[in-house]
Amino acid sequence: MKSSDVNVFSRRRFLATSGGFIASTMALRGQDVVGANEQIRVGFIGLGGRGNSLLGQFLFQTKKGYIKNAKLVAVCDPDTEHMEKAAARAGTKPAMIRDYRKLLERKDIDAVFIASPNHWHALHTIHACQAGKDVYVEKPVSHTVWESNQMLAAVEKYGQIVQAGTQNRSDSGLIDAFKYLKEGNLGAIQSVHGLCIKNRNSIGKLDQPLVPPASLDYNLWLGPSQDKPIYRPQLHYDWHWDYNTGNGDIGNQGPHEFDLISWLLGDPEMPTEVFSYGGRFGWDDAGETANMQFATYQLNGVPCYFEVNDMSLKPDANVPANYKGIRIGIVVNCEGGEFRGGRGGGYVLGPDGKTKIAKFPGDAGRWHMLNFFDAVRSRRTQDLRAPLINSCKSAAIPHFANISLRTGEQVPLAKLPSVLPQTAEFADVIERQSKQLKNWNIDFEKTLCTVGSNVILNPATGDVSGPANAAAFNRPQFRKGFEVPELANNAFLKSKL
């Protein structure tokens, strides 16, 4: 991928593509910083499942007085049905605004919560920073690593407070557990295994392209993504399983666990190499992303593994798989024992692998949102539990894993043991996956699995290399009028990540 000059982004081009948005919002940059006792006025952008959950947290915590002096001013979603439900839930008659750019123009909004689909996170965040708004943005914070680069440049240029929705960083149990591990109570960390094991179902497939609901402004929903025919029956949420708008479960649930691994290992620089294999098995549906995937990389010299499994153990049994009793979380293998846990805390097993020698009950990061408001008042990025820089690292690894998968080669499942690395970790996951796939009556001779390429990150430049098309997956083409602005070159990535 060719690097471009830092800050080459043309103001004239942005004016042309954003309908004068920047001209009307840059004037807000001189507004006073919110004081310790002043009211923080907020807007919500994206009110699907996660956005509605965030809104519920905000309403509850402000009502109870945990978050003080904060007010809901406006809700925003291209689907009026989502907005109307959110406004009714709020009970305070917030303004309902379909176009987020109109919301960001308002002088009576200080901060925004962004829970739009993945393909919107970067543009929503960058435009909010340009408009002088502080931002709480859901994971994965970006749709690609290139977008993360531009988001980091925007935060540096415009000086806004940006918190990521990786709330595990605020979990009291994990804070204590990681302190315990970092102090060497179990000896050196030998490996970490991240897990996203869920019990999902096929999303189905239409014969004709989906017709968007009448309540939706489809142009605003698509935004930066390409206008491609959709053959899934459900538009909302199932966009996760389409690379045009989502990142699969490795980029949906996965960023939480990738973030735990990075946090545990001291938030080091990104890995220089990521490898992944997997596929979408057992479901003849419209989904593109893998429902079974395995990725490997190293951080700080520690071997790290990540496993995605969205299939039940058997097609007729609603029973999920697990790894050492954990479905969502991490397993940390140390010299003197093992930590197993995730959101809500965890526990430590001694050298025998059976005896619990320590427990770390947590609170699931219930005060993560409060932490954001505290940082908005202090204007100190260092007060954030989950600053954008760390969450960009956590998003980068699943992005690279998906690039590995999308640039790989297909082989019959029967050949996997001979083409994958000959290690105990690969042997274990192949054995477990094979047993499960056989329960689904998968034909190992005819069913193909993708063995990914080795995706290499050049730590000196931030460039992605590997197969010829690897770089193209890292920087997609954006629709006219919704281009993510180029604020930094690849070398900026190295200086930040």
Whether residue 1 lies inside any domain: the answer is: no
Q: Per-residue pLDDT tens for 280-334?
A: 999 999 999 999 999 999 999 999 999 999 999 999 888 999 999 999 999 999 9
Shared domain for 179 and 320, answered yes or no, is yes
**Domain finish residue from 117, 149, 168:** 168
Residue type for position 215: S
Whether residue 158 lies inside any domain: the answer is: yes
**CATH code of 155's domain:** 3.40.50.720
Whether residue 382 lies inside any domain: the answer is: no
**Domain finish residue from 139, 168, 197:** 168
- Rounded to 10 deg, the angle between the 254-264 and 172-182 helix axes is 40
Residue type for position 282: G
Residue type for position 91: G
Q: Per-residue pLDDT tens for 383-393?
A: 999 999 999 99
Binned at pLDDT 50, 70 and 90, residue 68 comes out as very high
Shared domain for 359 and 225, answered yes or no, is yes
Whether residue 380 lies inside any domain: the answer is: no
Enter the pTM of the model: 0.92
Q: Per-residue pLDDT tens for 159-184?
A: 999 999 999 999 999 999 999 999 99
Q: Name residues whose C-beta falls within 8 Å of residue 259's C-beta, 6 or more positions apart in sequence.
A: 139, 166, 168, 169, 386, 390, 391, 394
Shared domain for 145 and 193, answered yes or no, is no
DSSP 3-state of 190: strand
Q: What percent of the chain has pLDDT over 70?
A: 90
In angstroms, the CA 493 to CA 272 distance is: 13
Whether residue 373 lies inside any domain: the answer is: no
Shared domain for 151 and 290, answered yes or no, is no
Shared domain for 441 and 356, answered yes or no, is yes
Identify which has the larger pLDDT, 31 or 111: 111
Binned at pLDDT 50, 70 and 90, residue 10 comes out as very low
Number of domains in the chain: 2
Shared domain for 93 and 217, answered yes or no, is no
**Domain finish residue from 136, 168, 200:** 168
Shared domain for 178 and 122, answered yes or no, is no
Q: How far are the Cα atoms of 138, 148, 182, 470, 479 from residue 270, in angstroms, in the given order?
A: 20, 13, 20, 17, 29
- The full DSSP string for 312-371 is EEETTEEEE--BTTBSEEEEEEETTEEEEEETTEEEEE-TTSS-EEEEEE--TTTTHHHH
Shared domain for 354 and 471, answered yes or no, is yes
Range of the domain at 317: 171-364+388-496
Binned at pLDDT 50, 70 and 90, residue 492 comes out as low
Phi first, then psi: what are they for 194, rounded to 5°? -90, 150
Full strand arrangement of the beta sheet holding 111-114? 95-97, 70-76, 40-45, 111-114, 134-137, 162-164
**Is the pLDDT at 4 greater than 50, yes or no?**
no
Whether residue 383 lies inside any domain: the answer is: no
